C-alpha cells in the first residue's frame, strides 16, 4: 500500500470522522479526492462531502471496494450490522480496517468479520485532531503488517500525537484523552465566568483563560518537571496563587476531576 496512492474510506460521517478529515485536509496530508465517504443519511454526508471535495458513494460496500483503509466511525449499536454487510468484501479484498467505535474490542470486530486474518487497528482520537493538536490511542491486532501500521500511524501523527495503548487501558484513555477536552473547555469557561464576575467581558476573559491553559500545557510538555513542581514554582509563600489553590481544594477540585474520570471509564465499560 503506497502512501501516495492510498485511498481512505469512511463508513460514518459524524463529528469525529469529520474532525479527522478536516485535520488531514488542513494539514495537506490527504487530498479530498482520495477520501470516500458513506453514512446512513445522504442529506448529512452528501453536503459535507461536496463542501470538502470528498467522494460521496452510495453504499458501505462501495467504500470497501474503492479504498485501501476503511475507517469505521459508527455508533456501537449499529456496528454489528455494518460489519455483517461488508465482511465478505473485506475478506476477499484484504482491506485494512480501522475502528474508532468506543467499547468494542479488536477480538469482537474480528469475530464479527468472520476471519482471523483481517488487518485491524483500533483507535481513539480526540476532537483536537481537527486543528492538528490531537492525541490518538492506537492498538493493533497481530495481523496488521508493520508497513500498514506505520502508514496508519503517520496519518494520525499529522493530526497531533499518537500513543500505543494496550486495549485493556482504552477506557482510561477515553477519559484522559478522549473526553478530557470537554473537561478542559468547562474549566476555561468557568475561569472566564469568574473574570466576568469581576468586570471583564466574556470574550476577553475567555481569551485570557484559554491562552493561560495553552501556555501551561506547552510548559508541562516542554519540561521534565512534574505539574506539581510547576505549581510550587508559581506559588509564592503567603501569595495570591496559594490562596486560590487552597480555595479550589476546599471546594473539592481534585476530587471532582478524579470522579469525572471514574464516571467516564465506568460509562465506556458498559455493555
Under DSSP, is residue 160 helix (H, G, I), strand (E, B) or coil?
strand
Q: What's the CA gap between 217 and 211, in Å, rounded?
A: 10
CA-nearest of 78, 12, 2, 60 to 34 is 2
In total, the chain counts a number of residues equal to 271
Q: Is 80 labelled as part of a ligand binding site?
A: no
Q: Is 15 labelled as part of a ligand binding site?
A: yes
Under DSSP, is residue 3 helix (H, G, I), strand (E, B) or coil?
helix
Q: Is 39 labelled as part of a ligand binding site?
A: yes
Q: Is 14 labelled as part of a ligand binding site?
A: yes
Q: Is 47 labelled as part of a ligand binding site?
A: no
User: Could you tell me the end-to-end alpha-carbon distance of the chain, in angstroms, rounded to an integer?
Assistant: 35
Q: What's the CA gap between 145 and 217, in Å, rounded?
A: 35
Q: Which helix (H) or strand (E) holds 217?
A: helix 202-222
Q: Is 98 labelled as part of a ligand binding site?
A: no
Q: Is 94 labelled as part of a ligand binding site?
A: no
Q: Is 11 labelled as part of a ligand binding site?
A: yes
Measured in whole angstroms, how far is the alpha carbon of residue 219 from the centre of its chain?
22
Q: What's the CA gap between 112 and 78, in Å, rounded?
A: 12
Which grid coordinates belong to 128?
483536537
b/e for 18-51, b at 16 or more Cβ within 10 A?
bbbbbbbbeeebbeeebbbbbbeeeeebbebbee
φ, ψ dihedrals at 125, nearest 5°: -90, 170
Residues annotated within a binding site for NADPH: 60
Residues annotated within a binding site: 11-16, 39, 60, 73-76
Residues annotated within a binding site for NADP(+): 11-16, 39, 73-76
Amino acid at each position: 500500500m503506497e502512501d501516495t496512492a492510498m485511498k481512505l474510506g469512511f463508513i460514518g460521517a459524524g463529528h469525529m470522522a469529520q474532525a479527522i478529515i478536516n485535520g488531514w485536509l488542513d494539514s495537506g496530508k490527504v487530498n479530498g479526492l482520495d477520501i470516500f465517504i458513506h453514512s446512513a443519511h445522504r442529506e448529512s454526508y452528501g453536503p459535507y462531502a461536496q463542501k470538502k471535495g470528498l467522494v460521496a458513494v452510495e453504499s458501505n460496500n462501495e467504500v470497501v471496494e474503492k479504498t485501501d483503509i476503511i475507517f469505521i466511525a459508527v455508533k456501537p449499536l449499529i456496528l454489528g450490522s455494518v460489519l455483517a454487510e461488508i465482511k465478505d468484501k473485506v475478506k476477499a479484498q484484504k482491506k485494512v480496517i480501522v475502528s474508532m467505535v468506543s467499547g468494542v474490542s479488536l477480538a469482537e470486530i474480528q469475530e464479527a468479520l468472520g476471519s482471523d486474518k483481517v488487518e485491524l487497528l483500533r483507535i481513539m482520537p480526540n476532537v483536537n485532531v481537527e486543528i492538528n493538536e490531537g492525541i490518538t490511542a492506537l492498538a493493533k491486532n497481530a495481523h496488521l503488517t508493520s508497513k500498514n501500521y506505520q502508514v496508519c500511524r503517520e496519518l494520525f501523527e499529522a493530526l497531533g500525537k499518537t500513543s500505543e495503548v494496550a486495549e485493556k487501558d482504552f477506557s482510561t484513555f477515553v477519559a484522559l484523552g478522549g473526553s478530557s477536552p470537554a473537561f478542559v473547555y468547562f474549566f476555561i469557561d468557568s475561569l472566564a465566568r469568574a473574570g466576568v464576575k469581576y468586570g471583564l467581558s466574556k470574550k476577553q476573559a475567555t481569551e485570557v483563560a484559554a491562552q493561560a491553559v495553552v501556555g501551561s500545557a506547552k510548559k508541562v510538555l516542554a519540561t521534565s518537571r512534574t505539574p506539581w513542581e510547576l505549581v510550587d514554582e508559581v506559588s509564592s509563600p503567603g501569595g495570591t496563587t496559594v490562596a486560590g489553590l487552597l480555595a479550589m481544594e476546599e471546594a473539592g477540585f481534585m476530587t471532582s476531576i478524579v470522579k469525572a474520570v471514574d464516571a467516564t471509564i465506568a460509562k465506556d465499560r458498559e455493555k
